Amino acid sequence: MLSALSNAYAVAKRERRSGNLPEVLIWRELRKRPGGYKFRRQHPLSDVVIDFVCLECRLAIEIDGEAHGAGDRPERDAQRDIYLRSRGFHILRLPAVYVLQSLEDALATIVAACAEHQPLHHQPLAGGPPPRSGEVFESSSP
């Protein structure tokens, strides 16, 4: 189960309202579900807030501005990546400049990463064929 601390919820809510241009631009496109993938913005996970995430593919997408290369940020980002990987996520870091220079290429990179990490088994569509025998465990009735 994915859960978050209450502080992470507050940070996520504040970040969703921020006017960070690269994130706003990429969100305009991601909310259209490119490639059929669903994304969330500023998703809290424990005490971490992920810029964008595709939960189906377990892909965390971070848009890194100039501040991510200064001070202790590279070390903090590395620790954050280790934590996310321990929770089963793949991490895709895109420089904010890349998003601003070529939004289409950034979007294509995200969709390609999702395709690379999509799960082997998908939930059946509503009204689709039933699962094959042996694919679903039937609960035993007393």
Mean per-residue pLDDT of the chain: 80
Q: For position 19, what pLDDT does the model report?
A: 64
Q: For position 1, what pLDDT does the model report?
A: 43
User: pLDDT band for position 99 (50/70/90)?
Assistant: very high
Higher pLDDT, 113 or 141: 113
DSSP symbol at 4: B
Kindly give, in sequence order, each residue whose CB lies less than 8 Å from that of residue 9, ignoring residues fewer than 6 positions away: 44
Residue 121, pLDDT > 70, answer: no
**Helix spans in the chain (H):** 6-16, 21-30, 73-86, 96-101, 103-117
Q: Determine the Cα–Cα distance for residues 64 and 51; give it in Å rounded to an integer.
A: 9
- The arithmetic mean of pLDDT across residues 66-70, rounded, is 58
User: pLDDT band for position 126 (50/70/90)?
Assistant: low
Superfamily of segment(s) 6-117: VSR Endonuclease (3.40.960.10)
User: pLDDT band for position 6 (50/70/90)?
Assistant: low
Token pair 């939004």 in the structure block, residue:
103
| % of the chain beyond a pLDDT of 90 | 49
Q: Determine the Cα–Cα distance for residues 23 and 38; give it in Å rounded to an integer.
A: 16
User: pLDDT band for position 115 (50/70/90)?
Assistant: very high
Q: Where are the domains of the chain?
A: 6-117
Token pair 């979007």 in the structure block, residue:
107
pLDDT digits (tens, 9 = 90+) for 84-98: 999 999 999 999 999
Token pair 């993938």 in the structure block, residue:
37
